[in-house]
């Protein structure tokens, strides 16, 4: 029997998830690289923090995001989405730079990498939010 329920095609679907994920991985890497290279110039950042710790944080966070994506692809929707969401929220943590010092205290390069990461993390969360139904399927 044919359903009388009409569906509207989604503007954002599961096929957008890899694109959003790749964009966020790249933006996050760019911001972490900038942080590691210019840490002494970032206002409020601890001078004792070695660049390796910044790269390590990126590797750990990104690994969790990628594991989440692969779990989601293998059918473990809830766990996969949970890890992906945690990874994306980690990108919003870049805004903490402005808790340490105002936007005007950061250079153009700092602000660009911070906001690029935040925008990409937000886009990933938006794709995931629009796919919320896929978690329940």
pLDDT digits (tens, 9 = 90+) for 25-62: 999 999 999 999 999 999 999 989 999 999 999 999 99
Q: What one-character-per-residue DSSP string does 4-27 give? A: ----PPPSS-GGGHHHHHHHHHHH
Instruction: Give the number of domains in the chain.
Output: 1
The top-scoring range by mean pLDDT among 3-17, 40-54, 107-121, 123-137 is 107-121
- Average pLDDT over the chain reads 89
- Structural domain includes residue 129: yes
- Structural domain includes residue 7: no
Averaged pLDDT for residues 65-81: 94
d(CA 63, CA 124): 16
Domain that holds residue 87: 14-136
- Structural domain includes residue 2: no
d(CA 20, CA 6): 28
Question: Model-level pTM?
Answer: 0.85
Going through 21-137 in order, the beta strands assigned E by DSSP cover none
- Structural domain includes residue 31: yes
The predicted pLDDT at position 47 comes to: 84
């Amino acid at each position: 029997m044919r359903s009388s329920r009409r569906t509207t095609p989604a503007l954002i679907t599961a096929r957008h998830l890899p694109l959003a994920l790749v964009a966020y991985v790249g933006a996050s890497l760019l911001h972490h690289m900038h942080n590691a290279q210019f840490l002494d110039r970032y206002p409020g950042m601890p001078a004792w923090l070695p660049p390796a710790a910044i790269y390590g944080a990126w590797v750990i966070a990104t690994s969790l995001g990628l594991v989440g994506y692969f779990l989601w692809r293998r059918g473990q929707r809830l766990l996969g989405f949970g890890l992906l969401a945690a990874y994306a929220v980690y990108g919003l943590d870049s805004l903490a730079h402005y808790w340490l010092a105002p936007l005007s205290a950061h250079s153009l390069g700092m602000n660009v990498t911070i906001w690029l990461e935040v925008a990409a993390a937000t886009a990933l969360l938006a794709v995931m939010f629009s796919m919320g139904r896929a978690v329940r399927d």
